[in-house]
Amino acid sequence: MAALTISTDVPTTVRPIAKMSSCVLQNTSRQDVALHGSTDEFDYIITSDGHGQGARKHALRDLFKSLDWSSILQNENWYKNDVDEEGVYISPLFAVLHSNTAAFSKITATHQGCTLSVVLIYPDRFECFTIGDSTIKIWEKSDVWQRIFVSVDHDINFEEDNAQLKAREKNDALFCRRHWEHKSIVVQNGIRTKDIKRLKALDATKMTMEQSAYFYFDDGSLLNMTRSLGHYPTSSIVKISQDKDHALSCAEHSLTKVVVERKTDVKYAIINATDGVWDVTAEDVEKTFLDSIAEDDNAAAICVRKVKQLWSQEWEYWYLGVNTGNTRLPDWNHDDIGCSVAYC
């Protein structure tokens, strides 16, 4: 049985705070993180979904659970992967990541990385930060719930990265050079699309598979997203790229920031979750979560239990508009489920 971890600890502050909760249900990978907290200026909810194998596969999960997020998030540059004139990272988060020897090595590629999605909840706005494919969704309610914001995932549908990758010359993809000679894999400019699909829920009982893609990162990792924290290239790859004036991949981006207006006298529900939630949750099912978020102190746990039921249920499998029969997803193939929610 997967381990269920629930966090409902909300720091005390002098101003009204959002009702927040976080919950993680780990499966075989055990790499999801869900957190929440408050500072004097804002509340926040966080999720992260790790990827990687081997002895270091939990290093980023453990790091994120140990960080002082309240301190990090108060730095206005926390989400920027930039350095100052002296080569020092201006973000306390990226400074920690780039120096973390438990997860990364400059000598040998460790193939470790993670998504990160953060919502800062201010009295007049929501600041949403993402890298990877852990999605943030926001609803508002005056009379009925209406979804007003969905963050953009960095994947095959993110045109900015796709254009950059497709424009790259074959020889620029240093990190996947060995794959060009592998005739059983069809790769074009660091992107593999042949036979790559991902799960999509059509409604509460129907699912299908939609087109996806794998992207090769500088450390040789193969991911279904165009951006991620981690996956840093080794020193030798960096030197080769500098010597040959080759562009490295999309791994070194800052987080994407979007600001959403918060109106007065309007209620809001926010779900910040890993793809273990969204892969099996269609839009009509999302709406069933909202009353729990408004009414229950442990709303995240309630959402996670509902999502687990979706992973475990029998589905109608539809392909090219045709019902091909019923199916169940095997337990070993269930994703980790990480979810942080807020009501304000």
Q: What pLDDT, on a 0 to 100 scale, did the predictor assign at position 172? A: 47
Q: Which of 54-68, 242-256, 260-274, 282-296 is least confident?
A: 242-256
Q: What pLDDT, on a 0 to 100 scale, did the predictor assign at position 233? A: 78
User: 15 pLDDT exceeds 70?
Assistant: yes
Average pLDDT over residues 106-118: 86
Domains and CATH numbers, the chain: 4-154+252-343 (3.60.40.10)
User: 61 pLDDT exceeds 90?
Assistant: yes
pLDDT bucket at 109, cuts 50 / 70 / 90: confident
User: 5 pLDDT exceeds 60?
Assistant: no
Q: What pLDDT, on a 0 to 100 scale, did the predictor assign at position 204? A: 95
3-state secondary structure 232-252: CCCHHHHHHHHHCCCCCCHHH
pTM for this prediction: 0.89
Q: What pLDDT, on a 0 to 100 scale, did the predictor assign at position 16? A: 80
Q: What pLDDT, on a 0 to 100 scale, did the predictor assign at position 4? A: 56
Q: What angle do CA 285, 290, 294 make, to 5 degrees?
A: 165
Q: Which of 21-30, 106-115, 240-249, 292-301 is least confident?
A: 240-249
Question: How confident is the prediction for the chain on average, in pLDDT?
Answer: 85
Q: What pLDDT, on a 0 to 100 scale, did the predictor assign at position 14? A: 64
Q: What is the pLDDT of residues 123-136, one digit of tens each?
A: 999 999 999 999 99
Average pLDDT over residues 81-94: 93
Average pLDDT over residues 9-35: 83
Average pLDDT over residues 301-315: 95
Q: What is the pLDDT of residues 170-196, one digit of tens each?
A: 444 454 544 444 444 555 556 777 778
User: 209 pLDDT exceeds 70?
Assistant: yes
- Based on its alpha-carbon atoms, the radius of gyration of the chain, rounded to whole angstroms, reads 20
* Burial of 322 per CB tally in 10 Å (0-12, 13-18, 19+): exposed
